[in-house]
Structure 1
């Protein structure tokens, strides 16, 4: 049994939906879908139906795009939208951040799989920039994330407040783990600022995570940390932990760069 991962499928694009059919079946293995599968429920269901036939089981964490509410599409917002997504996951038996963290008996030994949802709090910014000035600071460079229009934090007062709640909830669950097993931490947003660099649009960093999770790979004995969001696939190591950015990306980003879509599916463990 092996553990694979993929994120940022963006299945609103027909070319991406077509590409998913080229990913080969691995019926004995698990697949992590690390967020930004799609914005519309019909495309999220497409992914779950397709990959549940190709893999033994799926694990999912939300990205910002799943949480978007565009005018004239979804009818629920914020935390209620997250709840709706959880309901879809339960229809397909997909593991979510609200489920118990399972122990997987992989070829290299047992690990505990920990899907998480932490959001972001604009703390990936220079120390001299105040929180209330963060979005303006980013806009000075011509960058503005669409989350500011489409990702409602309702009923929370802000996305930062929602992030604090999610981090506290997740930290409490992880702190309660007492079996000493290594973990695989899965989150759409990178857990560390140094793993969230976007060289062409550096000030996009404020929408990329929270400093509250910077030491979680050490604190929770992570063999691997899986994330997406950056659209720059990479494999790096820090403190003995593998940090895997597993984005598929938009058609203009992957066409011509990968001979086969299947190559985007990253084997996480065994390494």
Structure 2
């Protein structure tokens, strides 16, 4: 059994949807796929994508990303917390999982999150331009920090077999030093909305061996403080130099 990972499928783009549909129907029948968020803000596309992947893999594991929680064009209108519940229902109904699961010698743990500005204070320019501020809708009086509190509070605290390899995954980054040093300073204004430091505390409390994340659209595998972090984004079609058009195997059982 192998564990593959991907994120940021953005199947609103025809090329990305075609990539998902063209994955082999036979090669991955005994394998697990982690999808670390951002399939689409359109529920019908999320459902179609997950159903396509479920047909190809033994198990598909999913957490929603920020794009998935956009409420633009939602009919009937909903807030982003209600949409999160809709997404979890669609995932389960499609045959995917949003819960901790054990497979032979590996345990896979989905972690929900948001950003809480622990990576920096957002500039006025970011507050104006970042689409989440306009496309997500939260209950009245709910701050960005409260959103992060809510999602972190949902995360699994179930006992995990210590002999298993623990793989956790989230859409958001658990630490800002996962961003490579070559990012130009002018592009770092988005860092405040990339993740939350408290997420990494949860990752390490799980004693994860591998943590998969998405969101940044920068494919990278790096080890920090004894833990391997992996980003396997499909990303937008024009970002081929940052991401990749292939699945990444992150673990293979003996």
TM-score by length of 2: 0.88
Task: Name the counterpart of 2:223.
Answer: 237
User: Which piece of structure 1 moves more, 226-235 or 12-21?
Assistant: 12-21
> 1:226 & 1:257 partners in 2: Cα distance?
14
CA contact (8 A) 1:122 1:206 kept: yes
- Partners in 2 of 1:206 and 1:74 — Cα distance? 31
1:103-157 per-residue CA deviation (whole Å, 9 max, x = no partner) reads: 111xxxx1211011111112111xxx5xxxx242746xxx831001011222561
Q: Mark the CA change 1:34 to 1:74 in structure 2 (over 3 Å): closer, same or farther.
A: farther
Partner Cα distance (2:153, 2:93) in 1: 28
Change (3 A) 1:156 1:46: farther
Of 192, 195, 202 in structure 1, the residue corresponding to residue 188 of structure 2 is 202
Counterpart of 1:266 in structure 2 is 248
1:144 matched to which residue of 2?
A: 129
Give, in whole Å, the separation in 2 of the partners of 1:24 and 1:11: 17
1:228 aligns with 2:214: yes
Counterpart of 2:10 in structure 1 is 10
Which residue does 1:168 correspond to in 2?
153
Q: Are positions 1:104 and 2:90 aligned together?
A: no
Distance 1:86 1:155, change over 3 A: farther
Q: Which runs of 5+ in 2 are unaligned?
A: none
Which residue pairs with 2:119 in the alignment? Answer: 124
- Alpha-carbon deviation of 1:66? 0.4
Structure-2 separation of matches of 1:183 and 1:74: 39
- Specify which of 183, 192, 199 is matched with residue 175 of structure 2: 192
Give TM-score scaled by structure 1 length: 0.83
Tell me by how many angstroms 1:215 deviates.
3.6
Once the two structures are TM-superposed, the CA of residue 23 in structure 1 deviates from its matched residue by 2.2
Tell me the distance in 2 between the aligned counterparts of 1:241 and 1:16.
30
**For the residues of structure 1 that align with 2:233 and 2:75, how far apart are their CA atoms?**
25
- Cα deviation code 1:60-92 (max 9, x no counterpart): 001000000114656211211111111111211
Cα distance in 1 for residues equivalent to 2:76 and 2:123: 26
Quote the offset at 1:254 in angstroms.
2.3
> Are the structure 2 counterparts of residues 58 and 138 from structure 1 closer, same or farther at C-alpha, using a change threshold of 3 Å?
same
Contact between 2:112 and 2:154, CA under 8 Å: does it hold in 1?
A: no
Asked if the contact 2:123/2:189 (under 8 Å) is kept, the reply is no
Q: Give the alignment of 1:45-60 within 5 angstroms.
A: 45-60=47-62
Q: Which residue of 2 aligns with 1:21?
A: 21
Equivalent residue, structure 1, for 2:144: 159
The CA RMSD measured in Å over matched residues stands at 2.4
User: SS of the residue aligned with 2:72?
Assistant: coil
Q: Given that residues 37 and 171 in structure 2 are in contact (C-alpha distance below 8 angstroms), is that contact kept between their aligned partners in structure 1?
A: yes
Distance 2:16 2:84 in 1: 23
| Count of aligned residue pairs for this structure pair | 247
Mapped partners of 1:111, 1:153: distance in 2: 35
Match of 1:31 in 2: 33
Measure the CA separation in 2 of the matches of 1:52 and 1:157.
35
